[in-house]
Amino acid sequence: HRISSRGNVADVRVVAELHKFCILRFFIILTFTTRHRIRSMIGIRSLLRFKTTYSKKDLGKIFKNMNRDTKQLFGDLLETNKIRKKRLKSTDGSHAVKVERVNDNVDRLKLKIKPIAKDSFSMVDHSKRDLNEEYYQQFVAAVCHDKVIVRKSSECDVVPSVTNILNATMSEKSKAALENWKRSMIEKMGEDGFNEYSRELMAMGRAMHSKIQSYFTGSLDEVSHYEEVENCWRSLNAVLNNISKPILVEKMVVHKELMYKGIVDCVAFYKHTPVVIEWKKSSRDKLTLQATYDAPIQLAAYMGAVNNDISYDFKVEEGLVVVAYSDGHPANVFKLTKQSCLDYWTVWMLRLNKYKQVKSNFK
């Protein structure tokens, strides 16, 4: 009525444009659900951009009114862009945690463990004393007066070593990987060359352990003729500064009840905490404990032997796996808490019982 009486063409255009928007809004309300609301609004913007003759400011007002009407119809947004970004970020974080847990070697191995009644010994003899600073002084004094039990060689001859047990109970996947590596090395070097290479690796490993032993016993004065050993020594510099009060270095330990033995690399204090230490040498980076393969299982086996060996009246419940690198860059240190050591002890018990079953079947 107003338009016909005033005859204003501009008003006709305004009504036409508003009519167009009303029809479009009605179509949107019927077509889209609440879950598609954000995407639908983006579609509206692109749909109207080329059709309207209004300025951005006018369009902003129109969209503001439409959003207000939509809010009245459907209620508040389920989530704003800010909330959505926060949710996606937290989801990514939880996913990373899940991946880390899945890749955790302890969890993976524990799933395969079945309860075994036989040989279910504790890793720790709780009747023994805690290894602390005070006990260390008493132990050193006892050593000086030859009061420590000296083990007869016959006690160790009849029991298998930790290394032999782990090698004999290696998984089929690990065996296949080892065989593939051996085959590829033989193709490159020849069988004689590979045998010589293997002997060199073992010799360098012994030389590194010997150098560490000399350091802790105060007799380090020789430079190894192996360049890689000297590089490993340089790799260990920062770690050794945090290790003090060595109480056992390259000592034979025996678990008489479970019938196994091994040479523990070191029992000392790491940042004032008593730990069993396992030294490893590598030419490749080991960025996770899982990458050290059986090293934590080996450490748990030695810890159990130390804690149950009648030659020693102390107990240790935490561990350290240290990987020194043959190119000299800083070593990686993996600290194992009491619970981690107990977890790996459970895995060790599985391997030990498997070894005994294999030997029993063989007999």
Q: Let me know whether 7 and 142 are in one domain.
A: no
Could you read off the pLDDT of 205-215 as tens digits, one per residue?
999 999 999 99
Could you read off the pLDDT of 17-28 as tens digits, one per residue?
666 766 766 666
Task: State which of 26, 58, 74 marks the end of a domain.
Answer: 74
Could you read off the pLDDT of 251-302 as tens digits, one per residue?
999 999 999 999 999 999 999 999 999 999 999 999 999 999 999 999 999 9
- Please check the confidence at residue 113 and state whether its pLDDT lies above 90: no
Q: Let me know whether 255 and 342 are in one domain.
A: yes
Could you read off the pLDDT of 286-299 as tens digits, one per residue?
999 999 999 999 99
Selected residue with higher pLDDT from 35 and 323 = 323
Q: Let me know whether 117 and 58 are in one domain.
A: no
Q: Let me know whether 159 and 35 are in one domain.
A: no
Partnered with residue 249 across adjacent β-strands are: 266
**88 is a domain residue:** no
Structure confidence at residue 336 (pLDDT): 96
Q: Let me know whether 23 and 135 are in one domain.
A: no
**96 is a domain residue:** no
Q: Let me know whether 45 and 127 are in one domain.
A: no
**38 is a domain residue:** yes
**103 is a domain residue:** no
Q: Let me know whether 286 and 168 are in one domain.
A: yes
**107 is a domain residue:** no
Structure confidence at residue 90 (pLDDT): 60
Q: Let me know whether 121 and 180 are in one domain.
A: yes
- Assign residue 268 the CATH number of its domain: 3.90.320
Q: Let me know whether 171 and 242 are in one domain.
A: yes
Q: Let me know whether 234 and 297 are in one domain.
A: yes
**100 is a domain residue:** no
In this prediction, residue 219 has a pLDDT band, given cuts at 50, 70 and 90, of confident
Give how many domains the chain has, as a whole number.
2
Q: Let me know whether 315 and 227 are in one domain.
A: yes
Task: State which of 74, 100, 132 marks the end of a domain.
Answer: 74
Task: State which of 74, 103, 127 marks the end of a domain.
Answer: 74
Q: Let me know whether 254 and 305 are in one domain.
A: yes
* Residue range of the domain that includes 139: 112-362
**355 is a domain residue:** yes
Structure confidence at residue 27 (pLDDT): 61
**241 is a domain residue:** yes
Could you read off the pLDDT of 307-340 as tens digits, one per residue?
999 888 889 999 999 999 999 999 999 999 999 9
Could you read off the pLDDT of 144-172 as tens digits, one per residue?
544 444 444 455 567 999 999 999 999 88
